[in-house]
Amino acid sequence: GAVVSQHPSRVICKSGTSVKIECRSLDFQATTMFWYRQFPKKSLMLMATSNEGSKATYEQGVEKDKFLINHASLTLSTLTVTSAHPEDSSFYICSARDQGLSSGGANVLTFGAGSRLTVL
């Protein structure tokens, strides 16, 4: 089946620094990827839709200058948390939609394993 790799799985950084998280589709091409944020015991919150070769689409209330998204190829999207603040500490998860053979064309979302960010 489709596999999405997300890296790093854990990162600890100091306030004011920037952190980059990578999301790769390993066996399929993804023109669109999604970035979510999840707080403890809460559901996923869609932050933005990453579009290959064009600007990301951000959800209401998500600062695009704070959360930079780049989707430079059909298999890689990156999320950079800039000037990190302790409030940015969270679980960030990416996903990609696989419409190919591995999903039987079923329009299924596959998730990366998530990145746990802790800002000190």
Partner 1 sequence: RKEVEQDPGPFNVPEGATVAFNCTYSNSASQSFFWYRQDCRKEPKLLMSVYSSGNEDGRFTAQLNRASQYISLLIRDSKLSDSATYLCVVNFSNYGQNFVFGPGTRLSVLP
Beta carbon of residue 72, minimum distance to partner 1 (angstroms, whole number): 19
φ, ψ of residue 103 in degrees (nearest 5): -110, 5
Residues 6 or more apart in contact with residue 120 via CB below 8 angstroms: 12, 13, 14, 15, 86
Contact pattern from residue 48 through residue 87 relative to partner 1, giving x for each residue in contact according to CB under 8 A and a dash for the rest: -x--------------------------------------
8 A C-beta contact, residue 67 and residue 81: yes
Rounded to a whole number of angstroms, the minimum distance from the CB of residue 32 to partner 1 is 5
Residue from 47, 78, 110, 119 touching partner 1 (CB under 8 A): that is 110
32 touches partner 1 (CB under 8 A): yes
Q: Which of 56, 93, 117, 119 contacts partner 1 by CB under 8 A?
A: 93
Q: Tokens 């053979």 belong to which residue? A: 101
Give, in order, the Cα–Cα distances in Å from 99 to each of 2, 21, 29, 84, 108. 10, 24, 9, 35, 7
Residues that bind partner 1 in the complex, under the rule CB under 8 A = 6, 32, 34, 42-44, 46, 49, 91, 93, 97, 106-114, 116
